[in-house]
A and B are shown apart, each in its own frame.
Chain A
Amino acid sequence: MLPLAWSVSLLLLLSSLSLQALALQEGSLQALQLRRRQQEDQLMTAAQRLAGRLQRQHSCLLPLAAAAWPAAGCATATELAELRQGLRAYQPAPAGGDPQAPEGRVELLLQQGEGAAAFALHWRRPDPAGPPVLVALRELGLRQVQP
């Protein structure tokens, strides 16, 4: 009788503890998910700030790959350094897209802390000889980057 009672009580305790562990794990997963979403929010905000800045002050850089920025001559070295903060990549998509085309797209990769996300900027030239104008910013999702 006693061994049976022992086994039953052990079983009861173990099952309730595993249920509790499951609930705790669910909670921590959710906290993780919220943190990931908040990271996405921060990266989106950073992308908006960069896009806004490019559009307002350095629209000639919009269709160019980041490597071609210094030669474009529409931003000082300090401004370029500020623009490049957190910017891991900035290049036309598809690669080799014509900066003089009537419209185009660039993809950029932004990093903040441990998180990184990719975005696409769509631009258009309302006047074929005029500067490009941003028409949309799309999220392409979080990315893994080397620290």
Chain B
Amino acid sequence: MTLTEILVSASLLVISASASLQVWASGSRWSLRSEQRLEQQQALEAELLAVQARLQQLAGTPVAGDCEDAADWLVSQLPALQRQGEGVLLRLQAGDGGERQRWYDPAAYGLCNPSAAPLQAPSP
């Protein structure tokens, strides 16, 4: 074993170790970022499902004769919603987690029916 051989081997090891350390660090940064993104996506999904579950709960009981009034009533019940056109829009955003957007029509849930009783008092 010559001195040259030892020097070459040592520098080879140092270079490869530092390079792989850098790649490893960037890989774990990526992993961390995608884990955070996954959490945000799951939070959005949970929020969306909660709104939809509440809609299903309210479904079937007419609250107004007019669908516009029913949409206004829905917004008062579920603050995550906003009025858009004849219905309501749910828009959820979370930085890196992307954006979710769904439009709901009170008529699809039987919330407005011309033969319905006048607007119900909002339930808690």
Contacts and interface: CB of A to CB of B under 8 A. Distances in A.
Interface string B95-113: 0011111111101111001
Given A16-B21, A52-B108, A127-B115, A30 B100 contact: no
Contact of B100 (A6, A38, A134, A138): A38
A133 B9 contact: no
B1 interface: yes
Interface string B51-83: 000001001101000010000000000000000
B contacts with A: majority SS: helix
B30 A23 contact: yes
B26 A9 contact: no
B108 A8 contact: no
A51 B8 contact: no
A1 interface: yes
Contact of B15 (A9, A15, A27, A34): A9
Interface in A17-56: 17, 19-20, 22-24, 26-27, 30, 33-34, 37-38, 41, 44-45, 47-49, 51-52, 55-56
B110 A133 contact: yes
Interface in B1-60: 1, 5-6, 8-10, 12-13, 15-17, 19-21, 23-24, 26-28, 30-31, 33-34, 37-38, 41, 45, 56, 59-60
Interface of A: 1-2, 4-6, 8-10, 12-13, 15-17, 19-20, 22-24, 26-27, 30, 33-34, 37-38, 41, 44-45, 47-49, 51-52, 55-56, 121, 124, 126-127, 130, 133-138
30 contacts: A1-B5, A12-B17, A13-B16, A13-B23, A16-B20, A20-B23, A20-B24, A20-B27, A23-B28, A24-B30, A30-B34, A30-B37, A30-B41, A34-B98, A37-B100, A38-B98, A38-B101, A44-B102, A45-B102, A48-B105, A49-B105, A52-B105, A52-B108, A55-B105, A130-B115, A133-B110, A134-B107, A135-B109, A136-B56, A137-B59
Interface of B: 1, 5-6, 8-10, 12-13, 15-17, 19-21, 23-24, 26-28, 30-31, 33-34, 37-38, 41, 45, 56, 59-60, 62, 67, 86-87, 97-105, 107-110, 113, 115
